């Protein structure tokens, strides 16, 4: 399997071209089709993948472990308490050592800088499984799902409603790169990072698409093809939960809000969902929701990422 992606780190989607993103998505489509007919190719036969998880996880951990297994690799799950990092070993030393043992390192971290430091000191590819800045694998799976349901990505309109978090950051970059028009609606003070918005806007100009950041959810969802939301308080923000709920209540994804999108618009949520907060049961379980197809596609896109970068 010849690809120019082999050996690359995946830290942020801004580092990948439209063609590279579409290559990953298309390979994810292929692997999904293969799995549906019981076909499995061990692109990573005999290799091992280290999985460093500073933060708890359900979908990301399971999808990466299953992906590695189905590709023929062995996944080593390492939480922060199991590692010498907990006792003061530097990230650079950890990266130097692990990269001599494994074909790649998947890392879910609190601080994005930890990923940057891992990549700077590792001879094996580093894959971002979530940081405070970005969540690129999630968005690759999301784009795969959107294309699966709506066809070619260029020109589609996506609205994200809620906290301008790491998912919103990566959606901005991913959507802009593939030529989708994206509108982010967040309360004042909770918008995506300004530098990310600026970068996404520059990318959008090159791909003939648009970026909008607004404090009005009605403006964002007007006649869009896709409506996306996420939890209002991410992991590590539990102490802010009550205050965030008060501020973000007008940004809840309800049937009334969905009524401003296109009649055939689809609903995405990266999960876990706090039903009754950022999304209602009516929308989450409604006919426009593709949330669980979206969750399944995490497995297939994770397989594609691992195979193309490590294979």
Q: What is the pLDDT of residue 84?
A: 75
Does residue 193 have an active-site annotation? Answer: no
Confirm or deny that 271 is annotated as ligand binding. yes
At 287, give phi and psi (nearest 5°): -65, -20
- Residue 197 vs residues 87, 129, 223, 224, 277: alpha-carbon distances, Å: 37, 21, 22, 19, 26
Residue in 54, 138, 294, 302 annotated catalytic: 138
Confirm or deny that 138 is annotated as ligand binding. yes
Q: Are residues 94 and 174 in the same domain?
A: no
Helix (H) or strand (E) holding 127: strand 126-128
Q: What is the pLDDT of residue 238?
A: 79
Confirm or deny that 108 is annotated as ligand binding. yes
Q: Are residues 148 and 256 in the same domain?
A: yes
Q: Is residue 8 part of a domain?
A: no
Confirm or deny that 8 is annotated as ligand binding. no
Structural domain count of the chain: 2
Three-state SS sequence of 55-79: CCCCHHHHHHHHHHHHCCCEEEEEE
Does residue 230 have an active-site annotation? Answer: yes
Does residue 108 have an active-site annotation? Answer: yes
Q: Is residue 4 part of a domain?
A: no
Q: Are residues 290 and 167 in the same domain?
A: yes
Q: Chain centroid to CA 77: how far?
A: 20
Q: How far is 243 from 254, CA to CA, in rounded Å?
A: 20
- Please calculate the CA angle 179-182-187 and round it to the nearest 5 degrees: 160
Does residue 100 have an active-site annotation? Answer: no
Q: How far is 252 from 280, CA to CA, in rounded Å?
A: 8
Confirm or deny that 36 is annotated as ligand binding. no
Residue in 12, 142, 230, 244 annotated catalytic: 230
Q: Smallest Cα–Cα separation from 257: which of 190, 209, 185, 189?
A: 185
Q: Are residues 201 and 278 in the same domain?
A: yes
Sheet with 74-79: strands ordered across: 74-79, 48-53, 104-108, 126-128
Confirm or deny that 235 is annotated as ligand binding. yes
Range of the domain at 44: 13-134+297-310
Q: Are residues 155 and 70 in the same domain?
A: no
Residue in 244, 270, 294, 300 annotated catalytic: 270
Q: Are residues 165 and 252 in the same domain?
A: yes
Q: Are residues 152 and 278 in the same domain?
A: yes
Residue in 8, 61, 112, 135 annotated catalytic: 135
Residue 79: CATH number of its domain: 3.40.50.1370
Q: How far is 75 from 84, CA to CA, in rounded Å?
A: 19
Q: What is the pLDDT of residue 308?
A: 98
Q: How far is 251 from 190, CA to CA, in rounded Å?
A: 12
Q: Are residues 282 and 190 in the same domain?
A: yes
Confirm or deny that 214 is annotated as ligand binding. no
Q: pLDDT per position in the chain (311 positions), as tens?
A: 567 999 999 999 999 999 999 999 999 999 999 999 999 999 999 999 999 999 989 999 999 999 999 999 999 999 877 787 657 889 999 999 999 999 999 999 999 999 999 999 999 999 999 999 999 999 999 999 999 999 999 999 999 999 999 999 999 999 999 999 999 999 999 999 999 999 999 999 999 999 999 999 999 999 999 999 999 987 677 788 899 999 999 999 999 999 999 999 999 999 999 999 999 999 999 999 999 999 999 999 999 999 999 99
Q: Report pTM.
A: 0.97
Does residue 147 have an active-site annotation? Answer: no
Does residue 298 have an active-site annotation? Answer: yes
Q: Are residues 104 and 203 in the same domain?
A: no
């Amino acid at each position: 399997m010849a690809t120019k992606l082999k050996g690359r780190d995946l830290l942020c989607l801004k580092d990948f071209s439209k063609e590279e993103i579409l290559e990953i998505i298309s390979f994810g489509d292929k692997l999904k089709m293969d799995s549906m007919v019981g076909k499995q190719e061990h692109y990573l036969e005999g290799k091992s993948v280290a999985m460093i998880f500073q933060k708890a996880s359900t979908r990301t951990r399971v999808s990466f472990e299953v992906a590695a297994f189905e590709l023929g690799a062995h996944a080593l799950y390492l939480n922060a308490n199991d590692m010498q990092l907990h006792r003061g070993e530097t990230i650079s030393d950890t990266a130097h050592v692990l990269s001599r043992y494994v074909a790649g390192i998947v890392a879910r971290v609190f601080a994005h800088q930890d990923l940057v430091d891992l990549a700077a000191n590792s001879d094996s590819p580093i894959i971002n499984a979530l940081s405070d800045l970005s969540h690129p694998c999630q968005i690759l799976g999301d784009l795969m799902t959107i294309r699966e349901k709506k066809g070619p990505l260029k020109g589609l309109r996506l609205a994200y409603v809620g906290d301008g978090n790491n998912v919103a950051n990566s959606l901005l970059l991913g959507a802009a790169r593939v030529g989708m028009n994206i509108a982010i609606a967040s309360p004042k003070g909770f918008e995506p990072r300004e530098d990310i918005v600026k970068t996404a806007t520059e990318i959008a100009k090159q791909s003939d698409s648009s970026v909008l950041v607004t404090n009005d959810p009605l403006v964002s969802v007007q006649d869009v093809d896709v409506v996306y939301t996420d939890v209002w308080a991410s992991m590590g923000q539990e102490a802010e939960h009550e205050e965030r709920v008060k501020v973000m209540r007008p940004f809840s994804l309800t049937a009334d809000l969905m009524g401003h999108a296109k009649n055939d618009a689809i609903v995405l949520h990266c999960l876990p969902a706090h039903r009754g907060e950022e999304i209602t049961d009516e929308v989450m379980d409604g006919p426009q929701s593709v949330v669980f197809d979206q969750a399944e596609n995490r497995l297939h896109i994770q397989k594609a990422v691992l195979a193309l970068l490590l294979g």
